[in-house]
């Protein structure tokens, strides 16, 4: 790993993305993401002047959820629960390092 890789990672952690940016990066339709936001499956998303904003961690969450729904035909709520558990495992592993 190069030093500039770490710097880029740190900068992205504080970034906020639009609904369209997250949807495009995850290769899902914006409607897919909107439905999941409406169902409360992206708890850290915020609406600012009618525009949804997502913390950069939502990118990983959306990709995981979409993959679980596609690969295992999981319902959105189950995919969100598994994504929560995976996020918690990632946090615990980071603290162990």
CB 70 within 8 A of CB 79: no
Q: How many domains, the chain?
A: 1
Q: By C-alpha distance, which of 26, 38, 40 is closest to 69? A: 26
Say which CATH number the domain at 35 has: 1.10.1660.10
- Tens digit of pLDDT at every position of the chain (97 positions): 444 444 344 445 678 999 999 999 999 999 999 999 999 999 999 999 999 999 998 999 999 999 999 999 999 999 999 999 999 999 999 999 9
Query: Whole-model pTM?
Result: 0.82
What domain range includes position 57? 3-96
């Amino acid at each position: 790993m190069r030093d500039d890789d770490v710097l880029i990672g740190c900068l992205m952690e504080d970034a906020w993305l639009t609904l369209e940016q997250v949807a495009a990066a995850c290769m899902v339709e914006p409607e897919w993401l909107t439905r999941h936001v409406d169902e409360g499956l992206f708890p850290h998303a915020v609406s600012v002047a009618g525009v949804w904003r997502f913390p950069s961690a939502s990118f990983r969450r959306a990709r995981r959820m979409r993959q679980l729904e596609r690969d295992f035909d999981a319902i959105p709520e189950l995919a969100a629960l598994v994504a929560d558990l995976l996020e918690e495992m990632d946090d615990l592993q980071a603290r162990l390092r």
